[in-house]
């Protein structure tokens, strides 16, 4: 009996892969009520907000079904450049989006849909008593940052420069979530991440504010990918993100308006 | 036994061809896409050399550690009967099938700053393994050692134990038997296991990035450098991948010919 289960499952996956590979709308649109799945590649920092957005787009008319691919923005750009079947790309910074614009891989000009700011993430209760960026140079303190290719890494470097602080990180993580988890697990004492990631990190971590004159405002652009196999649904998703309702959802996760 | 050409049934031939193409095609893709003109500058770029050197140091250290700990373990598995042996063997070979990232998380729970043993190491000796080269070695050993243990255990089980008995009846002590009879007899599987272990350690990614993090020259091994280069310098990533591929291919072909029985 049980031996059949994996076989069944793999055949379903195979059919799904073939359908995805062909970009065939056939099996999807066979039922008129079935929402078209939009594949959204979004920066890791958007994870919680976009997942919440995803349940909301199911209620709009006509309903949308969003499938997400979350990772560091450069990874997502590389995937799209290699022809990954993606409909919408939401980046955590302009330079990564610009790579797709330069490559002629997106439709029209990208729209800014959210902003984010940096915070220092520490363990809940702030056991090391960190009050600002200047504290991060303290000897013995384990600081992790995002890698230099990842937007949060570049922003962190800018913020540290503005504060006149030189920090040698213990690790250059590949995305912002990895920084938060290293702090949450207690392996690192502090990291520099987005306000929204501290919020999404839950009760195990807390944020230490970085004053405006040292902070960096990250602008998030979104665009429909030229190779999109669900172009109309992709545009509808982008419109929803920019709508008042979409902006309310983003704000509830700590994002600022564009 | 006559070894003439056997007629291959068409469906089997076609499926086998598809199976082979499935592995060969990605390699051809890499080779065709590789910007050969940049080969030298990309491979000798400081970050590539740093990753290359670290990868060699870490994978060789991991192999040495695996030999030190894995050889006795293989011997125990092959020679000593004790309750729970099969369960223990299954546990120690688990990393072969475990997603390496899960292995990395498990290592954090054991050797991290707040881990079971890591906590003691930190408070008593000030030793912290995450974010260090030692941590990268540990992660690679965790994932690669099972290959050595299983290979050596199989070698020990298949050897003719009468040689050991004969040596002992002739008055050789246990250490002499081990050194002069057992180890030379299992040398081929020992070598094969060590090389397989080294190749696996060289390619390790998930456990390393999870447990040891990523910092150039310290924990950024070649596979991590490939992953990061893919984002910033895709051409360099392809060339670095080819280095890893070439190393692994040489290992597998050599092993197949000399120790795993050639076809």
In a domain, A241, yes or no: yes
Does residue B33 carry a pLDDT above 60?
A: yes
Average pLDDT over residues A42-52: 91
Average pLDDT, chain A: 85
Confidence at residue B263, expressed as pLDDT on a 0 to 100 scale: 41
Q: How many helices (H) and strands (E) does chain A have?
A: 10, 10
Does residue B86 carry a pLDDT above 60?
A: yes
- Chain B contact for A207 (CB, 8 A cutoff): no
Interchain contact, A186 vs B231, CB within 8 Å: no
B228, B229, B234, B236, best to mutate vs chain A, most A CBs in 10 Å: B228
- Chain B contact for A72 (CB, 8 A cutoff): yes
Same domain? For A110 and A226 the reply is yes
Q: Which residues of B touch chain A, with CB atoms under 8 Å apart?
A: 108, 112-114, 128, 130-131, 209, 212-216, 219-220, 227-228, 230-232, 234
Kindly list the residues from chain B whose CB atom is less than 8 angstroms away from the CB atom of residue A185.
108, 112, 114
In a domain, A258, yes or no: no
Confidence at residue B43, expressed as pLDDT on a 0 to 100 scale: 84
Confidence at residue A18, expressed as pLDDT on a 0 to 100 scale: 38
In a domain, A1, yes or no: no
Interchain contact, B214 vs A171, CB within 8 Å: yes
Kindly list the residues from chain A whose CB atom is less than 8 angstroms away from the CB atom of residue B130.
170, 187
Interchain contact, A171 vs B113, CB within 8 Å: no
Quickly state the pLDDT bin for B258 (edges 50, 70, 90).
low
Kindly list the residues from chain A whose CB atom is less than 8 angstroms away from the CB atom of residue B128.
142
Confidence at residue A238, expressed as pLDDT on a 0 to 100 scale: 94
Residues A116/A220, Cβ–Cβ less than 8 Å: yes
Does residue A120 carry a pLDDT above 90?
A: yes
Q: What percent of chain A has pLDDT above 90?
A: 63
Does residue A29 carry a pLDDT above 50?
A: no
Does residue B260 carry a pLDDT above 70?
A: no
Does residue A24 carry a pLDDT above 60?
A: no
Interchain contact, A182 vs B213, CB within 8 Å: yes
Does residue A163 carry a pLDDT above 80?
A: yes
Total structural domains within chain A = 2
Residues A207/A120, Cβ–Cβ less than 8 Å: yes
Kindly list the residues from chain A whose CB atom is less than 8 angstroms away from the CB atom of residue B209.
174
pLDDT tens digits, one per residue of B205-220: 999 999 999 999 999 9
Minimal-distance CA residue of chain A relative to B210:
A178
Q: How would DSSP label each residue in B52-70?
A: HHHHHHHHHHHHHHHHHHH
Interchain contact, A171 vs B230, CB within 8 Å: no
Same domain? For A165 and A224 the reply is no
Minimal Cα–Cα distance from A186 to chain B, Å?
A: 6
ipTM: 0.76
Q: pTM of the full predicted structure?
A: 0.78
In a domain, A125, yes or no: yes
CA distances to A90, A97, A245 from A254, rounded to whole Å, are 17, 22, 15
Minimal Cα–Cα distance from B131 to chain A, Å?
A: 6
Does residue A16 carry a pLDDT above 70?
A: no
Q: How would DSSP label each residue in A52-82?
A: HHHHHHTTSSS--EEEEEEE-HHHHHHHHHT
In a domain, A14, yes or no: no
Residue B106 neighbours by CB under 8 Å, 6+ apart: B98
Confidence at residue A33, expressed as pLDDT on a 0 to 100 scale: 52
Q: What percent of chain B has pLDDT above 90?
A: 61
Same domain? For A85 and A202 the reply is no
Q: How far apart are CA A193 and CA A196, in angstroms?
A: 8
Interchain contact, A170 vs B131, CB within 8 Å: yes
Same domain? For A187 and A62 the reply is no
Average pLDDT over residues A207-216: 94
| CATH code that applies to domain B38-258 | 1.10.3720.10
Confidence at residue B257, expressed as pLDDT on a 0 to 100 scale: 67
- Out of A174, A189, A209, pick the residue that ends a domain: A209
Q: Looking at residue A201, which CATH number applies to its domain?
A: 3.40.190.10
Q: Residue A176 belongs to what domain range?
A: 118-209
Quickly state the pLDDT bin for B259 (edges 50, 70, 90).
low
Average pLDDT over residues B119-142: 94
Exposure letters B124-154 (e unless 16+ CB within 10 A, then b): eeeebbbbbbbbbbbbbbbbbbbbbbbbbbb
Interchain contact, A78 vs B231, CB within 8 Å: yes
- Chain B contact for A17 (CB, 8 A cutoff): no
Average pLDDT, chain B: 90
Same domain? For A106 and A226 the reply is yes
Minimal-distance CA residue of chain A relative to B237:
A78
Interchain contact, A187 vs B230, CB within 8 Å: no
Confidence at residue B67, expressed as pLDDT on a 0 to 100 scale: 96
Interchain contact, B230 vs A75, CB within 8 Å: yes
- Chain B contact for A173 (CB, 8 A cutoff): yes
Interchain contact, B231 vs A149, CB within 8 Å: yes
In a domain, A197, yes or no: yes
Q: What percent of chain A has pLDDT above 70?
A: 86
User: What are the beta bridge partners of residue A71?
Assistant: A43
Domain ranges of chain B: 38-258
Nearest to B232 among A149, A182, A185 (CB): A149
Confidence at residue A20, expressed as pLDDT on a 0 to 100 scale: 40
Question: Phi and psi (nearest 5°) for B107?
Answer: -60, -40
Q: Which of A10-14, A17-21, B159-163 has the highest mean pLDDT?
A: B159-163
Confidence at residue A22, expressed as pLDDT on a 0 to 100 scale: 41
Minimal-distance CA residue of chain B relative to A177:
B210
In a domain, A7, yes or no: no
Q: Between A and B, how many CB-CB pairs are < 8 A?
A: 57
Residues B142/A221, Cβ–Cβ less than 8 Å: no
Same domain? For A30 and A104 the reply is yes
Does residue A30 carry a pLDDT above 50?
A: no
Q: Residue A104, by phi and psi: left (phi above 0), alpha (psi -120 to 50) or beta? A: left
Interchain contact, A147 vs B228, CB within 8 Å: yes
Confidence at residue B80, expressed as pLDDT on a 0 to 100 scale: 93
Q: Which of A14-28, A95-109, A166-180, B213-227 has the lowest mean pLDDT?
A: A14-28
Same domain? For A129 and A177 the reply is yes
A142, A170, A188, A204, best to mutate vs chain B, most B CBs in 10 Å: A170
Quickly state the pLDDT bin for B250 (edges 50, 70, 90).
confident
Same domain? For A104 and A123 the reply is no
Average pLDDT over residues B131-150: 96
In a domain, A205, yes or no: yes
Confidence at residue A253, expressed as pLDDT on a 0 to 100 scale: 92
Interchain contact, A187 vs B108, CB within 8 Å: yes
């Amino acid at each position: 009996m049980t031996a059949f289960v994996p076989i069944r499952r793999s055949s379903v996956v195979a059919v799904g892969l073939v359908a995805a590979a062909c970009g065939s709308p056939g099996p999807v649109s066979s039922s008129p009520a079935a929402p078209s799945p939009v594949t959204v590649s979004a920066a890791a920092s958007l994870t919680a907000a976009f997942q919440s957005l995803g349940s909301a787009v199911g209620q709009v008319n006509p309903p949308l079904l969003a499938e997400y691919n979350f990772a560091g923005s450069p990874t997502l750009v590389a995937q799209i450049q290699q022809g990954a079947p993606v409909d919408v790309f939401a980046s955590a910074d302009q330079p990564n989006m610009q790579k797709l614009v330069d490559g002629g891989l997106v439709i029209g000009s990208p729209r800014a849909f959210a902003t984010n700011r940096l915070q220092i993430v520490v363990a809940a209760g702030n056991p090391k008593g960190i009050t600002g960026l200047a504290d991060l140079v303290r000897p013995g303190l384990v600081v992790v940052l995002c890698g230099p290719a990842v937007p949060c890494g570049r922003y962190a470097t800018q913020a540290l420069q503005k504060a006149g602080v030189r920090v040698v990180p213990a690790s250059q993580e590949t995305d912002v979530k990895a920084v938060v988890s290293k702090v949450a697990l207690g392996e690192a004492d502090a990291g520099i991440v987005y306000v929204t990631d501290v919020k999404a990190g839950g009760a195990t971590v807390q944020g230490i504010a970085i004053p405006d004159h040292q902070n960096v405002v990250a602008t998030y652009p979104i665009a429909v990918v030229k190779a999109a196999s669900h172009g109309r649904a992709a545009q509808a998703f982008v419109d929803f993100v920019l709508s008042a309702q979409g902006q309310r959802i983003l704000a509830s996760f700590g994002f600022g308006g564009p | 036994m006559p070894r003439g050409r056997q007629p291959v049934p068409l469906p089997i031939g076609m499926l086998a061809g598809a199976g082979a193409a499935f592995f060969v095609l990605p390699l051809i893709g890499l080779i065709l896409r590789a910007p050969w003109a940049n080969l030298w500058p990309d491979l000798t770029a400081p970050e590539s050399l740093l990753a290359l050197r670290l990868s060699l140091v870490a994978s060789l250290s991991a192999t040495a550690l695996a030999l030190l700990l894995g050889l006795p373990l293989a011997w125990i598995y092959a020679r000593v009967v004790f309750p729970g042996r099969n369960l223990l063997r299954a546990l120690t070979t688990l990393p072969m099938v475990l997603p390496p990232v899960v292995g990395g998380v498990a290592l954090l729970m054991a050797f991290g700053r707040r881990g079971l043993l890591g906590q003691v190491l930190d408070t008593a000796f000030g030793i912290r393994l995450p974010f260090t080269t030692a941590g990268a070695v540990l992660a690679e050993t965790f994932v690669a050692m099972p290959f050595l243990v299983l290979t050596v255990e199989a070698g020990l089980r298949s050897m003719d134990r009468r040689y050991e008995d004969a040596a002992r009846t002739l008055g050789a002590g246990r250490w002499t038997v081990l050194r002069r009879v057992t180890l030379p007899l299992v040398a081929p599987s020992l070598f094969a296991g060590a090389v397989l272990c080294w190749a696996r350690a060289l390619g390790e990614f998930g456990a390393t990035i999870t447990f040891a993090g990523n910092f150039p020259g310290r924990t950024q091994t070649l596979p991590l450098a490939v992953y990061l280069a893919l984002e910033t310098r895709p051409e360099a990533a392809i060339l670095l991948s080819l280095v890893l591929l070439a190393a692994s291919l040489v290992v597998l072909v050599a092993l197949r010919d000399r120790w795993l029985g050639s076809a």
